[in-house]
Copies of this chain bind each other. A is one copy, B any other.
Amino acid sequence: MNPGDRIRVETDSQTFEGILLPRSELEDEDHITIKLDNGYNIGISIREGHIEALGTEEHLQVFPEIELEKKEGLPEISMIATGGTIASRLDYRTGGVHMLMEPREIFFTTPELAELVFLKKVISPFRVGSESMTFKEYPILAELAARELNEGVSGVLITHGTDTLHYTSAILSFMLQNLHKPVCLVGAQRSPDRGSFDGAMNLICSSITAGYSNIGEVVTVMHGETSDTYCSVLRGTKVRKMHTTRRDAFQPINGKELARVWPSGTIEYLSDYRGRNDTEVTADTTLQEKVALLKAHPNCNPELLDFLVDNHYRGVLIEATALGHLPTDTVNPEYSWISAVQRAREEGVHIAFATQCLYGRVNPYVYTNARLMFNLGVLYMEDMLPEVAFLKLAWVLGHTENEEEVRQMMLHNYAGEITMRSPVERW
Contact = CB atoms under 8 A, between A and B. Distances in A.
What number of copies of this chain does the assembly contain? Answer: 2
Chain A interface, DSSP helix/strand/loop, else mixed = loop
B42 A365 contact: yes
Interface residues of A, number: 93
A322 B329 CA distance: 34
A362 interface: yes
A325 B164 CA distance: 10
A92 interface: no
A241 B322 contact: yes
Contacts of A325: 129, 131, 163
Contact of A299 (B135, B296, B369): B135
Interface in A43-68: 43
Interface stretch (A26-34, A111-119, A275-283, A402-410): A26-34
Given A292-B304, A426-B427, A134 B245 contact: no
A126 B42 CA distance: 50
B244 A40 contact: no
Given A132-B327, A246-B359, A311-B303, A27 B368 contact: yes
Interface in A119-162: 126-136, 138, 162
A427 B427 CA distance: 5
A131 B321 contact: yes
A134 B299 contact: yes
Contact of A128 (B168, B329, B391): B329
A331 interface: yes
Contacts of A355: 244
Interface in A372-390: 372, 374-375, 387, 390
A360 interface: yes
Given A245-B361, A375-B43, A390-B297, A24 B163 contact: no
A332 B244 CA distance: 25
Given A26-B328, A27-B371, 12 more contacts: A24-B368, A41-B365, A129-B329, A131-B296, A131-B328, A132-B328, A133-B327, A134-B298, A163-B323, A164-B298, A241-B322, A299-B394
Interface of A: 24-28, 31, 33, 40-43, 126-136, 138, 162-164, 167-168, 241-246, 248-249, 251, 289, 291-301, 303-304, 307, 311, 319-323, 325-332, 335-336, 338, 355, 357-363, 365-369, 371-372, 374-375, 387, 390-391, 394, 424, 426-427
